[in-house]
Structure 1
Amino acid sequence: MGSLPPKPSLEQLRKRAKDLARAEKTKLTDAQFEIARQHGFPSWPKLQAYVRRVEEHGSELQHAYHADTEYYADRALGLLASAEDGTTEAQEPFERWQQPLTREGARAVVAREHGFSSWRTLRDHVTSLSESGEPFARAYRLVEARDVDGLARVVKEFPELVHTRGTNGNDLLGMASATHDERLCRVLLDAGADPSQGNAHGWTPLHQAAYSNLPLLLNMLLDEGAPVDVSARGDGGTPLVVALFWGHRQAAEILAERSLAPGNLRVAAGLGRLDLLAEPLATQGAHREFYRPHSGFPAWKHSDDPAEIRNEALSWASRNDRVEAVEFLVARGAEIDADVYRGTPLAWAATQGAGNAVRKLVELGADVDHRGTFGGLSHGDGVTALHLAAQNGHSQVLRILLEAGADPSLKDNLYDSTPRGWAEHSGHPWPTD
């Protein structure tokens, strides 16, 4: 199979077709079809359409790769949410295409970034994507299938793919990072993929490895020079902060060896750094624009209220099972049942299976039956710590809460279900006496 140059030219392809027709003494249409097939395209018109878009839009062109048209509607909403959060990378395409920060504006931006004049023409393109032969879509399918050998072959045939971007600026290395398969990432890095490349949200492969708590991938990317101080989804959204948001201690500790950025109170609390918590840092509330890892969480506007900053730090200490930091912050006025953003300290500790923090919070007076919010709007309303521990199969935490008097009969507001019902729905056992 042939390889298209990084900047393919319709004129060159047409000349090749004419030369091949003369050399093989065949019809021009037969020569065109043969060239299209050499490049993995099912027809000459499909190859022409692809090359024309690349010619017109250059390296900034985004390539469709997912065959579900609703996928792009979701990506448009995600881009809009990130732009509304103030993420520079997400705001730029709205400015470039002079579109408003609305649902329709976001769809227009996504279409234009893909080289199409309207949302409808992008959708029409996507419906035939699986048969289009476009190399980026083919490579994406290999990533999704975790076909390491197949991916190695296609990036060898089309080496420019490792620098090509898909929808919302996602590249193959970022996609491979999301599969949790370090082998795919190794193939792409060896082929020249850039580990510092972020998508339209500023999200890099290192952010994704932190999000998924993948120490092997983290170290691989760091060894390849992946930057640790880059923010995504708002100022202060470094890979370290992403790891701490989810209570991924192993990932956080690897990243903290390289940088403590952004160096605010919630980072100090999540790392259990009492030395930093004790300092009267003027920046303790700085760089907190990052507050959600994706648009599945609702929008929020943080404040500079010292009480809010302390309460948020307590939540981050709890989800990372930092008992000494929990004690330190409560002793200095942090409210033990405060729900700063989608979850009390006890709710987050229960979700992450942070048994030591759960015990300490209960000991310090946390309400084991507190009914609050958690996660996305379709997930947590009126939930208790018992619901969240049950959903995630944390049997030790369930026992701690039950022994502390948590009421297993309470039902949440969205699904009208008890903690035991949440456990059964998630396929986890309920503890027996």
Structure 2
Amino acid sequence: MGTLPAKPSLDQLRKRAKDLARAEAVKLSEAQFRIAREHGFPSWPKLQAYVRRVTEHGETLQHPYHQDVEYYAGRAIGLLASAEDETPGAREPFDRWSQPLTRDGARVVVAREHGFVSWKALREHVKSLVDSGEPFARAYRAVEAKDPEALERLLGEFPGLVTARGTNGNDLLGMAGATGDERLSRILLDHGADPARGNVHGWTPLHQATYSNLPLLLDMLLEAGAPTDVSARGDGGTPLVVALFWGNRKVADKLAAHSRAPGNLRVAAGLGDAELLGELLEPGHPAAGAHRGFYRPHSGFPAWRPADDPAEVRNEALSWAARSNRTEALRTLVEHGAQVDADVYRGTALTWAATRGRVAAVRTLLELGADVNHVGTFGGPQHGEGVTALHLAAQSGRLDVIRVLVENGADLGARDALFDSTPEKWAEVCDEPAARDLLRSL
């Protein structure tokens, strides 16, 4: 196949078609079809439409790549959530297209960012995306298939892919990180992909590496110059904070050697940094609750506004220590007034420890007085309402945690508020047969 430049010219393609028609003594339509096929497009009109869109919008164009129409509706909701959280990159397109911060406004923004005049036009295009021949969509499929040879070939044919953006400003390097296949990221970096580039939420490839707990990718990106102190999805949402949100200790410990930003109490707790923890627990320390604008890694979690209340700051830090199994930090925080059963934002310390399989943290929290049957929240509002730690341990197949909880009086018959289901049923529905069978036997 021929190489299509990052900034293709429709006039040049038309001239090529005319020249080919004369040289080969074929009809112009035949020449146009050949050129379209040469570049991977099924027809000349498909190639023309693509080139017009790229020409009109240039580097700001977002390329559709996902074949599920509802995917774009979800991205619109996510974009709106980030804009409402005042994430700068997410707010800008609403201003650019003069759209209100509403669901319909977000859909118009997503359509316009993709080069379409309306949400309906974008939806119609997406329905035929699999047969469109568009390079970015093909590259995305290569990434999803974890096919380095296909990706390498496409980057050779379409060099502009390495800087092109997809929906919500996601590029191929960020997508590659989500697959967990470091070979894809290596290829893209070798072709010049920017490791510092974020999407409209500020999410960089390094954020993705910490979100997915990929230490090898982390090393690769740091070596390539990826920044460690950039915030995404709110003030203080650095890659380290994303790792600590999930208790991803492999990448958190590795990244902490490079940066501990933003250095607030929840970071100190998540890292188990006794010295920093002691310093920040001094009454009135200004850094303890600073830079806590980040509170969710995606819009599946509900909206929240962190407060400056020192009690909330301590209670939140307790759950961050639990996620990473930092038992000494748990003891220190409770000694300084943290409430062991506090549910600051979608989960107590015990439910977080349970879902992450942190047996030592579970034992420590129970020793410190945590209620084994405390009813609270977890995750998204359509998922974790009225749940106990045993529900979460069952859902995640944490057998050792289940045993500890039951030994300490966890109610096997507890029912959540949304599904009216027991921990055993949660294990069954979440395809954790070992957890289901263990709960049946207890």
| TM-score of the two chains, using structure 2 as the length reference | 0.97
Which residue of the partner structure matches residue 329 of structure 2? Answer: 325
In 2: Cα distance, 1:73 partner to 1:421 partner: 31
**Cα shift at 1:425:** 2.0
Which residue of the partner structure matches residue 373 of structure 2? Answer: 369
Cα distance per residue 1:338-374 (max 9 Å; x no partner): 0000000101011111111110100010000001000
Which residue of the partner structure matches residue 386 of structure 1? Answer: 390
Letter in 1 for 2:28: L
Q: Hey, which bits of structure 1, 4+ residues long, moved more than 6 A?
A: none
In 1: Cα distance, 2:210 partner to 2:185 partner: 15
In 2: Cα distance, 1:225 partner to 1:118 partner: 39
2:251 corresponds to 1:251: yes
Aligned counterpart for 1:417 among listed residues 416, 421, 432: 421
What secondary structure is seen at the aligned counterpart in 2 of 1:381? Answer: strand
**What does residue range 204-353 of structure 1 map to in structure 2 within 5 Å?**
204-279=204-279, 280=282, 281-353=285-357
What secondary structure is seen at the aligned counterpart in 1 of 2:431? Answer: coil
Larger displacement relative to structure 2 (88-97 or 183-192)? 183-192
**Cα shift at 1:409:** 1.1
Letter in 1 for 2:289: G
**Cα shift at 1:27:** 1.3
**Cα shift at 1:147:** 1.2
In 1: Cα distance, 2:14 partner to 2:322 partner: 64
**Cα shift at 1:199:** 0.8
Over aligned residue pairs, what C-alpha RMSD do you find?
0.9
Letter in 2 for 1:54: V
In 2: Cα distance, 1:119 partner to 1:393 partner: 41
Cα distance per residue 1:117-165 (max 9 Å; x no partner): 1111111111111111110011111111111111111111111101000
Letter in 2 for 1:222: L
In 1: Cα distance, 2:235 partner to 2:290 partner: 9
Which residue of the partner structure matches residue 122 of structure 1? Answer: 122
In 1: Cα distance, 2:276 partner to 2:164 partner: 42
In 2: Cα distance, 1:133 partner to 1:71 partner: 20
In 2: Cα distance, 1:198 partner to 1:182 partner: 18
Which residue of the partner structure matches residue 39 of structure 2? Answer: 39
**What does residue range 71-86 of structure 1 map to in structure 2 within 5 Å?**
71-86=71-86
Cα distance per residue 1:270-318 (max 9 Å; x no partner): 0001100111342111110000000100111111000000000011011
What secondary structure is seen at the aligned counterpart in 2 of 1:406? Answer: coil
Which residue of the partner structure matches residue 153 of structure 1? Answer: 153
Letter in 1 for 2:177: S
In 2: Cα distance, 1:245 partner to 1:334 partner: 18
In 2: Cα distance, 1:137 partner to 1:406 partner: 49
**Cα shift at 1:29:** 1.1
In 2: Cα distance, 1:421 partner to 1:27 partner: 67
Larger displacement relative to structure 2 (24-33 or 54-63)? 24-33
Letter in 2 for 1:147: D
**Cα shift at 1:427:** 2.7
In 2: Cα distance, 1:96 partner to 1:254 partner: 39
**What does residue range 21-32 of structure 1 map to in structure 2 within 5 Å?**
21-32=21-32
Aligned counterpart for 1:407 among listed residues 411, 426, 437: 411
**Cα shift at 1:196:** 1.0
What secondary structure is seen at the aligned counterpart in 2 of 1:278? Answer: helix
What secondary structure is seen at the aligned counterpart in 2 of 1:422? Answer: helix
Cα distance per residue 1:363-411 (max 9 Å; x no partner): 0100000010000011111100011011111111111111111111111
**Cα shift at 1:115:** 0.8
Cα distance per residue 1:323-343 (max 9 Å; x no partner): 000000000000000000000
In 2: Cα distance, 1:56 partner to 1:424 partner: 52
**Cα shift at 1:24:** 1.3
Letter in 1 for 2:340: I
What secondary structure is seen at the aligned counterpart in 2 of 1:195? Answer: coil
2:140 corresponds to 1:140: yes
Letter in 1 for 2:92: E
Which residue of the partner structure matches residue 53 of structure 1? Answer: 53
**Cα shift at 1:18:** 1.1
Which residue of the partner structure matches residue 70 of structure 1? Answer: 70
Letter in 2 for 1:79: L
In 1: Cα distance, 2:37 partner to 2:337 partner: 69
2:18 corresponds to 1:18: yes
Letter in 2 for 1:367: D
In 2: Cα distance, 1:383 partner to 1:118 partner: 42
In 2: Cα distance, 1:304 partner to 1:173 partner: 36
Q: Give the aligned length.
A: 433
In 2: Cα distance, 1:249 partner to 1:223 partner: 20
In 2: Cα distance, 1:10 partner to 1:426 partner: 52
2:113 corresponds to 1:113: yes
In 1: Cα distance, 2:10 partner to 2:153 partner: 25
In 2: Cα distance, 1:295 partner to 1:244 partner: 18
In 2: Cα distance, 1:391 partner to 1:29 partner: 59
**Cα shift at 1:415:** 1.2
Letter in 1 for 2:231: S
In 2: Cα distance, 1:387 partner to 1:21 partner: 69
Structure 1, unaligned runs of 5 or more: none
What secondary structure is seen at the aligned counterpart in 2 of 1:234? Answer: coil
Structure 2, unaligned runs of 5 or more: none
**Cα shift at 1:19:** 1.2
Larger displacement relative to structure 2 (10-19 or 332-341)? 10-19
In 1: Cα distance, 2:36 partner to 2:70 partner: 29
Cα distance per residue 1:215-267 (max 9 Å; x no partner): 11111111111111111000100010000000111110111111000111000
2:97 corresponds to 1:94: no
Identity %: 70
